[in-house]
Amino acid sequence: MKFLDEAKVHLKAGDGGDGVVAFRREKYIEFGGPDGGNGGKGGDVLAEAVDGLNTLIDYRYAQHFRARKGGNGAGSDRTGAASDDVVLKVPVGTQILAEDRETLLADLTAVGQRVVLCRGGDGGFGNAHYKSSTNRAPRRADKGHPGEERSVWLRLKLIADAGLVGLPNAGKSTFLAAVSAARPKIADYPFTTLHPQLGVVRPDATTEFVLADIPGLIEGASEGAGLGDRFLGHIERCAVLLHLVDGTQADPARAYRTVRRELEGYGHDLADKPEIVALNKVDAITPQVRAARLKALSRAAGRPAMAVSGVAGEGVAEVLRALGAAIAEGRGG
C-alpha cells in the first residue's frame, strides 16, 4: 500500500427535506384540516479515527463526499426520513485543517474519536406546523435548509513514542529493523527511506513503545532540499528523539549540527524535545577512532553520546533502555 500523509477533500452535507401542504379528506370525519408533515434532516459528514490504517491513500482518488438529502414530508402529518451520515474513515493521528491549511478543526488521536465536519440541513415545516386558532387552513410549507459545504485538508501525523532522526545513511532503517519487526528498505545509498516507517519495540517484558523512522535530513531541508522537512510532522507527537550519527564519517559533530539546524528551522518545538544522541556503526571503526569521534559528538551535543551498532547489536539494549526511560518520563509514567 502506498503511503500518503496529506489529502484535500470536498464535503457536502445533505439538504433538509421539504415540508408539504396537505389536508385531511376522510369520510365520516367532520372536520378536516391541514396535515402536511415536515421534511427530514439531511445527512451529516463526519470523520472517524479507526484502527488498522496508516495512510490517507484512500483519499487520493475519492475526493468528493456528499450526504443525501432528507426525505420530504407527506400527508397524514408524516415526517420525512432523516438521511444517513457519511463517515470518512481516517488513521489515528489525522489532523483536519480548514482550506487555508492553517486553521486546525480537529485532531483525531484515539480510535473511535469522531468529529462532525459538515452538518446536514434541517427539514422544512409542513402546513400542519402553522395551524393555529386564527389560521385554520394554512397553505404555507417551507423548503428544507441547505446542508453545510466546505473543503478540508487531511494531514496525517503518525502516533509514535520515539522518533529517529539523522542524515541519510546514518543507519536509522537498520536500527529500526534490528529492534522491531519492521522491515524497511536498507541499502548503501542515501534516501533509501522515502516515507515514514513504524516499528513496535519491546526491550523487555514490561516495556513497549512505537519507534518512527523518517527520511533523512540534509542541509537546507527546511528550504526544500532533498526530501525537505515535510515528514518531520510525523515525529511532532514523539516524547523523545533518537539522533543517530554515522560513526564512519570524519566529522560527526558537523553532521549533528546540520540536523539540529534543520530541526530548529522547522519549528513546532521539535528542537526542544528530549534527545538521545548515539554514534552509530561503531563496529566499522577502530577503538581509537571511536573514542575520538564519541568525544567530538558529545562536545557538540552538550551531553554524553552513546555508542551503538544496529548491525552488530552493540549498545542497542542500552539505547532502548534510555529511550524507554525518557518516554516514561515524558508521558508522566
Kindly tell me if the per-residue pLDDT of 57 is higher than 50.
Answer: yes
Q: Give the separation between CA 241 and CA 161, rounded to whole angstroms.
A: 9
Mean pLDDT value of segment 149-157: 91
Kindly tell me if the per-residue pLDDT of 330 is higher than 80.
Answer: no
CATH match for 162-330 among 3.20.20.70, 3.30.70.141, 1.10.238.10, 3.40.50.300: 3.40.50.300
Q: Is residue 173 part of an annotated ligand binding site?
A: yes
Q: Is residue 170 part of an annotated ligand binding site?
A: yes
Q: pLDDT tier at 148 (50, 70, 90 boundaries)?
A: very high
Q: Is residue 280 part of an annotated ligand binding site?
A: yes
Over residues 97-127, the pLDDT tens digits come to 999 988 999 999 899 999 999 999 999 999 9
pLDDT of res. 186: 46
Q: Give the separation between CA 202 and CA 215, rounded to whole angstroms.
A: 23
Q: Is residue 269 part of an annotated ligand binding site?
A: no
252 neighbors 279 (Cβ within 8 angstroms): yes
Q: Is residue 310 part of an annotated ligand binding site?
A: yes
The model carries a pTM of 0.74
Q: Is residue 32 part of an annotated ligand binding site?
A: no
Q: Give the separation between CA 143 and CA 243, rounded to whole angstroms.
A: 61
Q: Is residue 233 part of an annotated ligand binding site?
A: no
Q: Is residue 191 part of an annotated ligand binding site?
A: yes
Q: Is residue 55 part of an annotated ligand binding site?
A: no
CA nearest 45: which of 5, 111, 90, 91?
Answer: 90
pLDDT greater at residue 233 or residue 65 = 65
Q: What is the CATH number of domain 6-156?
A: 2.70.210.12
Q: Is residue 281 part of an annotated ligand binding site?
A: yes
Over residues 206-247, the pLDDT tens digits come to 777 888 887 766 565 555 554 445 677 777 888 888 898 888
Q: Is residue 213 part of an annotated ligand binding site?
A: yes
Grid-cell match 462532525, residue found: 116
pLDDT of res. 183: 62
C-alpha grid cell, residue 128: 400542519
Domain locations in the chain as residue ranges: 6-156, 162-330
Return the number of other C-beta atoms located less than 10 Å from residue 227's C-beta. 19
Return the number of other C-beta atoms located less than 10 Å from residue 172's C-beta. 31
Kindly tell me if the per-residue pLDDT of 195 is higher than 70.
Answer: no
Q: Give the separation between CA 63 and CA 73, rounded to whole angstroms.
A: 32
C-alpha grid cell, residue 232: 518531520
